[in-house]
A = this chain, B = another copy of it.
Amino acid sequence: MAYRKTPAEIQRLESAREHLVTRATDVVAEVGWSGASVTAVADAAGIAAGSVYQHFASKAALAVEVFRRATGHEVDVLESVLNGSGTPVERLADGVRVFARRALESRGLAYALLAAPADAAVGAERLVFRRRYRALFAEVIREGMAQGLLPPQNGEVTAAALTGAIGEVLVAPLGSPEDDDQDILAELTAMALRCAGAAPSSARP
């Protein structure tokens, strides 16, 4: 008499939700938050608009999930690089490089996550993640200072600056059309090291 979801059914629902989040992310990457209406997202996922509400209480909740998923992944990657091997300065350079490369490889999504106008809930979430980025950078800078590789400074300020600087450089339609991503990457990394006060060319080759 009692109806209980069979494991297969639970699995199916779970992957339907997953699929929705994935496709919603695609839509956001392509047309930005503003273009990602419930209808558009539902269409992309191949379900009815109403069905979105089987998985999420509101559009905002879905948007937040999309943001968390994508950004969380980037934070994890950055964290593992920043806590990897090498001197703090080398790790900082690697972190910036990896972060920027990934962003340049999927510009649409990067723009949506970093800068595009978004609804309030996503905006709030952005602040949370910015703080996490900042904390990660701040820690490496602290280590660099402790080891005498970086000059004394307010690590929080530098970390915030790095976060902002990287975002701006990646998002701004810089100078000449397609100014060669390789160049941008190199310049950005060099800038980040200067910003933290690293001695010139103390980074990994």
Task: Give the contacting residue for A164; candidates B127, B153, B164, B173; CB below 8 A.
Answer: B164
* Max chain B C-beta neighbours (<10 A), residue from A123, A161, A183: A161
Which of A15-23, A52-60, A193-201 contacts the other chain?
A193-201
A47 sits at the interface (CB 8 A): no
* Max chain B C-beta neighbours (<10 A), residue from A120, A134, A160: A160
Task: Give the contacting residue for A194; candidates B166, B168, B196; CB below 8 A.
Answer: B196
A80 sits at the interface (CB 8 A): no
Q: Majority SS of interface residues in chain A?
A: helix
Which residues on the B side are within 8 Å of A196 (C-beta)?
A: 194
Which residues on the B side are within 8 Å of A188 (C-beta)?
A: 157, 161
A165 sits at the interface (CB 8 A): yes
Beta-carbon contact of B183 and A154 below 8 Å: yes
Beta-carbon contact of A151 and B118 below 8 Å: no
A residues engaging B (CB < 8 A)? Answer: 34, 117-120, 123, 127, 130-131, 134, 151, 153-154, 156-158, 160-169, 172-175, 183-184, 187-188, 190-191, 194-197, 200
* 24 CB < 8 A contacts A-B: A34-B120, A117-B123, A127-B173, A130-B168, A131-B172, A134-B172, A151-B194, A153-B187, A153-B194, A154-B183, A154-B187, A156-B175, A157-B187, A157-B191, A158-B187, A160-B169, A161-B169, A161-B191, A161-B195, A163-B168, A164-B165, A164-B168, A165-B168, A194-B197
